[in-house]
Amino acid sequence: MKLNRKQQGFTLIELVIVIIILGVLSVIATPKLLSLSSEAQASSLQGITGAIASVNKLVHSQTQIIGIADKNECLGTCNNHPNWDNEIAYFYINISGTRLYVYNGYPLSPLTAPSDSMAANNYKEVMGLSDDDFVYGMGSNSSFAIVPKKYESKLAQILAGTFKCHVEYRSPTRSFNYSIQALTDNC
């Protein structure tokens, strides 16, 4: 008498082979997925850098039109210039109702006037930078660092120049020219 059994399920060898194949695939795919994540972070920072650079060009053009691009500082009331803020002691332009403070025709870095949180908050608002997504600190050579929130613990390393996954902005001063750059070596 022959029993006619239908096979139900998989044999142990078939299951082991599937597990081995999945293991090999995960070893191959994991580094690629991690690489995509770091590439996405680097691309995001480059996009932010491009957006800030575009706003800076528009701001510089506007400061040239109203005649404050080459003016650095004024004493007192600055001859009552309509774009001079006596309290903060910097020139400004209005962008969508927000005062963006400028120096040598470019947006003032939030670190330039650290005692004035309004200037820093206005900069972040005009540039579209959210405190939910970014932290801010000092970058190399006294630049302003815009750092993804997940790297908040790296601020000391960013200052030392040993960690690079952030945007650095420097408004022009007597010592430095204007610059903006995405540093993505460690993303």
pLDDT-based confidence at residue 79 (cuts at 50, 70, 90): confident
40, part of any domain: yes
| Own/partner pairs, 114-120, CB within 8 angstroms, 24+ separation | 116/88, 118/88, 119/88, 119/90
105, part of any domain: yes
What is the rounded radius of gyration, in angstroms, for the C-alpha atoms of the chain? 27
Per-residue buried b or exposed e for 69-93, using 16+ beta carbons within 10 Å of the residue's own CB: bebeeeeeebeeeebbbeebebbbb
| pLDDT (0 to 100) of residue 114 | 52
| pLDDT (0 to 100) of residue 95 | 92
18, part of any domain: no
- C-beta of residue 93 within 8 angstroms of C-beta of residue 63: yes
- Domain count across the chain: 1
- pLDDT tens for each residue of 115-172: 568 888 999 999 999 999 999 999 987 899 999 999 999 999 999 999 999 999 998 8
What is the per-residue DSSP string for 84-138? EETTTTEEEEEETTEEEEEETTEEPPTTTSTT-HHHHHHHHHHHT--TTTEEEEE
37, part of any domain: yes
Residue 83 DSSP code: T
Alpha helices (H) along the chain: 12-66, 117-127, 155-160
CA-wise closest residue to 92 among 59, 58, 115, 44: 59
104, part of any domain: yes
For residue 45, the enclosing domain spans 33-183
4, part of any domain: no
What pTM was estimated for this model as a whole? 0.78
Residues 187, 49, 177, 93, CA torsion sign: negative
Residue 5 predicted with pLDDT over 90: no
156, part of any domain: yes
- C-beta of residue 45 within 8 angstroms of C-beta of residue 187: yes
14, part of any domain: no
- The terminus-to-terminus CA distance of the chain in angstroms comes to 69
